[in-house]
Amino acid sequence: MGSWLQTAPGRYLHQWEQQRLDDAVADAFGFHALQLGLPEVDALRANRMPHRWVLASGGLTAVDADDRTVPPGAARVALLSEFDALPFAADSIDLVVLPHVLEFAADPHQTLREVERVLRPQGRIVIVGLNPTSLWGLRQRLSPQRLGLVPPTGEGEGEGPRAAEFIGYWRLRDWLRLLGFAIEGGQFGCWRPPLRGEAWLARLQWMDRVGERWWPVLGGVYLLHAVKQVKGMRLVGLARTSRRAARATAATLAPREGAVVRQREREKT
């Protein structure tokens, strides 16, 4: 995915994502922010938390975290770990950003469960994903490699991340709700098809304006942000019975106390 971002459609996608991520994380407050994967997109650059980390996995080694090997505009990798077993304590992170992580995850459900575990109550999650209901999703499904006509030999220019499994926007919202997240909002972008040439992408610039107005849910990429909610404690069983008995006793004694006060006033007069 990182090398594909250097192609013409990849740069087009990267520009849209970077702008939306800056807006999404700018007002997220706390102490600890975490980005999972894809250091080519500096998702936390607009955030003001004192501790911000980029965690990577896969074929990266320790040398990739060196400043000399970081591409221009990319974030420095601070940690190496698997995304479905994060090295953080429960309820310790205020913000987690997942740029195109779930599409490549072996078990996206487990990755989301780990993110929910490490997030604090009222912590925020921001997810960027490729939309299967779009021209980008159609191109991915009809590629020769996906159809088995050509053996997979790597990412070709303009072909998109063929190894990814696109996850639908509404499907992802359901997953987050099952984990106790409250959906704050989402947005779509990149209605132009993933063509190879810069010239053709420039000619089709009008598709972004028309698509945003008339078919917004058909954008090639989406950004979704949600908040972790923790339900409050409720009294049950004997505790609830005792509370009701106390209220009933108070209601019974109130008229008696009032009658005693009135009797004493009459005796004084």
pLDDT in tens, 224-262: 999 999 876 565 555 556 666 666 665 565 555 555 556
Q: Is the dihedral of CA 18, 21, 27, 32 positive or negative?
A: negative
How far apart, in whole angstroms, are the C-alpha atoms of residue 166 and residue 108?
11
Q: Which amino acid type is present at position 265? A: E
Query: What's the Cα-to-Cα distance from 25 to each of 91, 148, 153, rounded to whole Å?
Result: 19, 40, 36
How far apart, in whole angstroms, are the C-alpha atoms of residue 51 and residue 60?
22
The alpha-helical segments, DSSP class H, found in the chain are: 8-25, 108-118, 135-141, 144-147, 169-178, 198-203, 206-214, 238-268
**Is the per-residue pLDDT at 23 higher than 90?**
yes
Q: Kindly provide the residue ranges of all beta strands, DSSP E only, lying in 45-170, ordered along the sequence.
A: 51-56, 79-80, 93-99, 119-130
How many residues in total does the chain contain?
Answer: 269
Dig out the tokens for 82 from the structure: 């698997």
The closest of 83, 91, 84 to 121, measured between CA atoms, is 91
Average pLDDT on 63-80 reads 63
Q: What pLDDT, on the 0 to 100 scale, is given for residue 252?
A: 60
Average pLDDT on 187-199 reads 88
pLDDT digits (tens, 9 = 90+) for 127-186: 999 999 988 888 777 764 444 434 444 444 444 566 678 999 999 999 999 999 999 999
Helix or strand run (H / E) with residue 223: strand 221-228
Average pLDDT on 61-72 reads 49
How far apart, in whole angstroms, are the C-alpha atoms of residue 140 and residue 132?
8
The closest of 89, 172, 160 to 125, measured between CA atoms, is 172
Q: Which residue has the higher pLDDT, 255 or 75?
A: 75
pLDDT digits (tens, 9 = 90+) for 12-22: 999 999 999 99
CA 86, 114, 66: angle at the middle one, nearest 5?
30
Q: Which amino acid type is present at position 201? A: L
How far apart, in whole angstroms, are the C-alpha atoms of residue 51 and residue 94?
10
Q: What would the CATH number be for the domain defined by 4-228? A: 3.40.50.150
